[in-house]
Amino acid sequence: MKAMILDEKLNFLWTDMPDPVRKADEVLIRVKAAAVNRADLMQKDGKYASPPDWPQWCGLEAAGEVVEAPEDSGFKPGDAVCALLGGGGYSELVTVPAGMVIPVPEGLSFVEAATLPEVWCTVYLNLQFEAGGVKAGDVFYIQAAASGVGLAAIQLAKLYGAKVIASVGSAEKAEIVKKFGADIVVNYKEEDILPVLTKNPPDIALDCIAGAKMGDCFKQMKFGGRWIMIASMAGGVTEIDLETVWRKRLKLIGSTLRSRTSEEKSRIMAALKNELSPLFSQKKLISNIHAVFPIQEVEAAHGVLRRSENVGKVVLTF
């Protein structure tokens, strides 16, 4: 097979690699599309390696056709599927534990399906499991709201009946997140978010930035509020008033999907299949596709994310 690996200098290299050998509990998939995530950029920079039992190159989610599958998996050759990966999605073939594979929702293309596993599992995991369940009447604050995770989080929070406060970095992105259902939108380059959070104290926040203002924003949470950290794009150094934490019974939760066990990921993928897949087919939930590139143009695809130009997902095709 061909794969877009990282060489010893962390440069992309489209080269021949041995075909993966399927284990008894795994599905072998011929990849048609793979989505780009910020974790891929970190891996490209040498800062976020794949777990040791996964290929050591980028790619956390993919869609394609089944080549081989366990007899009891419910899959057969030719089935259209999408899969959550620990790494290695930038290749023509991948092997994946069967529990981390689901059918492509009816009516979706491979490009659309490739954007589902990592993003929607991340959002479902954090809004339902880590946050204890978003419910009607909750106030939900999402940063980087025009990203793939951000747009998914807005939709899911609105589905559960929450009020959504969204933070973005441009007027164009502000208009997009409004269309996706955000109730209050703040362009942080032109407006201070703190007065907005003071007036609308969040029950739950999903933070991938961890910027200098994070500590001040954290203090605005409601009593019993949950602030969930899924990344630290701004560097991850801030100051937190610990007295506020115990007085307001606040929870600061660190969360990542990639390092979880296959069993944990399989449970989340089962929820994606059973609860959300029908909504994708009905277009009640959507993944916004910002751009599509052939795998050979992976540097250009990564560049879109590095410059924070994307509104939604960037996808690679094979």
199 vs 211: CA distance, rounded Å: 21
Provide the pLDDT for residue 132.
86
Question: What pLDDT is attached to residue 11?
Answer: 97
Distance CA(148)–CA(144), nearest Å, equals 9
Calculate helix-pair angle for 117-124, 262-271, nearest 10 degrees: 90
Reduced 3-state DSSP string for the chain: CEEEEECCCCCEEEEECCCCCCCCCEEEEEEEEEEECHHHHHHHCCCCCCCCCCCCCCCCEEEEEEEECCCCCCCCCCCEEEEECCCCCCECEEEEEHHHEEECCCCCCHHHHCCCHHHHHHHHHHHHHHCCCCCCCCEEEECCCCEHHHHHHHHHHHHCCCEEEEEECCHHHHHHHHHCCCCEEEECCCCCHHHHHHHCCCCEEEECCCCCCHHHHHCCCCCCCEEEECCCCCCCCCCCCHHHHHHCCCEEEECCCCCCCHHHHHHHHHHHHHHHHHHHHCCCCCCCEEEEEEHHHHHHHHHHHHCCCCCEEEEEEC
CATH 3.40.50.720 residue ranges for the chain: 120-254
Which has the closest alpha carbon to 22: 86, 82, 96? 96
Provide the pLDDT for residue 211.
Answer: 82
Rounded to the nearest 5 degrees, what angle is found at the Cα of 98, between the Cα atoms of 151 and 6? 65
Over residues 269-316, the pLDDT tens digits come to 999 999 999 999 999 999 999 999 999 999 999 999 999 999 999 999
Hey, what's the torsion of the CAs at 308, 281, 142, 252, to 10 degrees? -120
pLDDT of residue 237: 81
What dotted CATH number matches 2-116+260-317?
Answer: 3.90.180.10
Superfamily of chain region 120-254: NAD(P)-binding Rossmann-like Domain (3.40.50.720)
What pLDDT, on the 0 to 100 scale, is given for residue 131?
85
What are the start and end residues of each CATH 3.90.180.10 domain in the chain?
2-116+260-317
Low-confidence residues in the chain, pLDDT < 50: none
pLDDT at 286: 96
pLDDT value of position 50: 95
- pLDDT for 232 equals 87
Look up the pTM and report it.
0.92
